[in-house]
């Protein structure tokens, strides 16, 4: 799957990019018609520990799925986003199969 990644207020290292790509590739197991994913990493300037925001916009035929999570590590955010997208894709696939 093609992934576009943007990091706001910092530079993402290759390890984070590879981790994100690996996690997103697993979504193909649940829905094989994913077009591409736009991933946004942001760091908020707050005093709290949970200042890392991850947004994933998944383009699929007939629409888009959007997930936004805030955590203290980007890896945890990616895990939460991917599991949320996984549930959404399963629901979408079930709806598509009942209409056929």
Q: Between these two residues, 49 and 16, which has the higher pLDDT value?
A: 16
Domain boundaries, the chain: 2-83
Distance CA 84, CA 82 (A): 5
Of all helices (H) and strands (E), which one includes residue 58?
strand 52-60
pLDDT value of position 62: 85
Quick check: 75 and 16 in contact, CB under 8 A?
yes
Question: Residues 28-47: pLDDT tens digits?
Answer: 998 888 999 999 999 988 77
| Of the options 3.40.50.1970, 3.90.660.10, 3.30.160.100, 3.90.1150.10, the CATH number for the domain spanning 2-83 | 3.30.160.100
pLDDT value of position 100: 57
pLDDT value of position 99: 66
Written as six digits, the tokens of 16 are 């984070």
Question: Residues 42-86: pLDDT tens digits?
Answer: 998 877 778 899 999 999 988 899 999 999 999 999 999 999 999
Distance CA 44, CA 56 (A): 17
């Amino acid at each position: 799957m093609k992934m576009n990644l943007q990091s706001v207020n910092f530079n993402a290292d290759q390890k984070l990019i590879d981790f994100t790509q690996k996690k997103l590739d697993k979504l193909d197991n649940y829905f094989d018609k994913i077009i591409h994913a736009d991933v946004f990493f942001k760091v908020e300037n707050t005093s709290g520990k949970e200042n890392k925001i991850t947004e994933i916009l998944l383009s699929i035929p007939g629409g888009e799925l959007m997930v936004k999570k805030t955590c203290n590590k980007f890896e945890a955010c990616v895990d939460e986003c991917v599991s949320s997208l996984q549930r959404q894709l399963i629901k979408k696939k079930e709806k598509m199969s009942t209409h056929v």
